[in-house]
C-alpha cells in the first residue's frame, strides 16, 4: 500500500503525535519521538513515521486499510470505552488465521499463550517514508527501535508486539530483541510494517488468565456444537 502524503504533515506527526491513551492505569502510549531504523537494507533517505489510528472516523480508517477484519480488530482494541482483552478479539483473529490464541507461534518460533497477556497500548500506525510516499513493505526483515511508555520498567520476556499488515491482514507476534527499561525503548525485528500494539504478560493477574482461558475454551465448545 502506498499513498501520497504531505511531507510537512508527516514531519509534524512524527514530532508531536502520540497514541490515544485507553482509560485505565495499565494503558500506556507511544512516546512521540521518531522511531529509529537499525537495519542497513533500506533505501537511502528512508525513515519511520508513527501516527495514531482514529477508529472513530470511517474515512480515516479507510485510508489505513480496506481489510474488514483489520478494521474490526483495530476498532475493538482501540475502543476507549472498554478494556480490550484477547478474548474480545479471539473470533476476528481466527478469521485472520490465528486459529488458537492459547497456542500461537511468534516470528522467532516460540510458542505463547495470548490469554496470559494484556493489551497495554492501542494500535498505532508504523510506516516507512521515502520522499513523499508511505509504504508498509520492507526489503526483508527490518530492525527498528521504538520507545513505548508502557514498556518502562518491564522485562523483554514479558512483552510481545502484535503486528498487523493493513493490506493483507496478516498477523505476526514479535518477541523483543532488546529493551531499555528506563526509557521504554524496544529493539525489534519486523518482517513488514503496519499497525502495532504492545502486549504485556506481567500486567495480567491469575484470575484474568483463568477467565480468558475459560472463555476461550467455552467459545470453542459452542462453535463445535453448532
Q: What pTM was computed for the model?
A: 0.78
pLDDT digits (tens, 9 = 90+) for 90-122: 999 999 999 999 999 999 999 999 999 999 999
Torsion sign, CA atoms 205, 207, 209, 215 = negative
Per-residue buried b or exposed e for 32-44, using 16+ beta carbons within 10 Å of the residue's own CB: eeebebeeeebee
Q: State how far the Cα of 188 lies from the Cα of 210, in Å rounded to an integer.
A: 29
State how many domains the chain has.
1
> pLDDT tier at 178 (50, 70, 90 boundaries)?
very high
User: In the structure grid, which three cell numbers stand for residue 174, read together?
Assistant: 514479535
The pLDDT value recorded for residue 30 is: 52
Distance in angstroms (rounded) separating the CA atoms of residues 14 and 86: 29
**Domain range holding 221?**
2-225
Amino acid at each position: 500500500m502506498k499513498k501520497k502524503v504531505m511531507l510537512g504533515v508527516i514531519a509534524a506527526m512524527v514530532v508531536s503525535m502520540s497514541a490515544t491513551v485507553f482509560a485505565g492505569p495499565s494503558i500506556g502510549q507511544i512516546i512521540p519521538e521518531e522511531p529509529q531504523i537499525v537495519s542497513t537494507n533500506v533505501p537511502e533517505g528512508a525513515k519511520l513515521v508513527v501516527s495514531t489510528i482514529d477508529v472513530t472516523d470511517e474515512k480515516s480508517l479507510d485510508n489505513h486499510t480496506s481489510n474488514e477484519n483489520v478494521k474490526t480488530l483495530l476498532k475493538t482494541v482501540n475502543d476507549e470505552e472498554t478494556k480490550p482483552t484477547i478474548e474480545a478479539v479471539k473470533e476476528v483473529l481466527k478469521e485472520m488465521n490465528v486459529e488458537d490464541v492459547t497456542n500461537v507461534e511468534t516470528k522467532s518460533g516460540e510458542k505463547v499463550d495470548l490469554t496470559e497477556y494484556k493489551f497495554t497500548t492501542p494500535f498505532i500506525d508504523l510506516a516507512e517514508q521515502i520522499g513523499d510516499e508511505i509504504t508498509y513493505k520492507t526489503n526483508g526483515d527490518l530492525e527498528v527501535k521504538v520507545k513505548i511508555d508502557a514498556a518502562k520498567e518491564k522485562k523483554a520476556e514479558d512483552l510481545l508486539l502484535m503486528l498487523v499488515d493493513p493490506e493483507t491482514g496478516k498477523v505476526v507476534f514479535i518477541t523483543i530483541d532488546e529493551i531499555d527499561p528506563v526509557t521504554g525503548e524496544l529493539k525489534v525485528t519486523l518482517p513488514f510494517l503496519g499497525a502495532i500494539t504492545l502486549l504485556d504478560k506481567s500486567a495480567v493477574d491469575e484470575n484474568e488468565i483463568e477467565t480468558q482461558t475459560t472463555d476461550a475454551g467455552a467459545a470453542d465448545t459452542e462453535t463445535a456444537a453448532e
